[in-house]
């Protein structure tokens, strides 16, 4: 599954669009949006394997991407999902935009 199709990609793309709209409305500055950086990086399996193998202290026996959809039994509770994002990244957002 390409990263662009994951829930994380959707959430962060929406967050970017919201921040740009807030800047257009003058609620925050464009400089704040440009300076905002969430320290996240989702590497593809091949890149991850190369770094681990280069290290030499570990080996990878099996690696692959998972699709969480088969494990989801009910509809995803978006409000709950957003609470998790807020708990993990809310401090970064507040630090940048509460100035």
Residues near 7 by Cβ (< 8 Å), separated by ≥ 6? 68, 76, 81
Q: What is the pLDDT of residues 3-51, one digit of tens each?
A: 677 777 888 888 899 999 999 999 999 999 988 888 777 777 788 889 9
Q: Give the per-residue pLDDT at 70.
A: 64
Global pTM value: 0.61
Q: What is the pLDDT of residues 45-98, one digit of tens each?
A: 788 889 999 999 998 888 877 766 666 677 778 888 889 888 988 888 888 888
Q: How far is CA 85 from the centre of its chain?
A: 9
Domain parsing of the chain, residue ranges = 3-97
Burial of 91 (0-12, 13-18, 19+ CB in 10 A): exposed
């Amino acid at each position: 599954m390409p990263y662009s199709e994951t829930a994380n990609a959707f959430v962060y793309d929406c967050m970017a669009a919201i921040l740009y709209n807030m800047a257009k409305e003058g609620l925050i500055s464009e400089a704040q949006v440009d300076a905002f950086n969430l320290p996240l990086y989702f590497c593809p399996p091949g890149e991850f394997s190369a770094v681990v193998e280069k290290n030499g202290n570990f080996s990878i026996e099996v690696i692959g991407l998972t699709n969480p959809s088969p494990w989801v039994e009910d509809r995803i509770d978006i409000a709950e999902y957003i609470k998790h994002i807020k708990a993990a990244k809310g401090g970064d957002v507040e630090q940048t935009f509460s100035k």
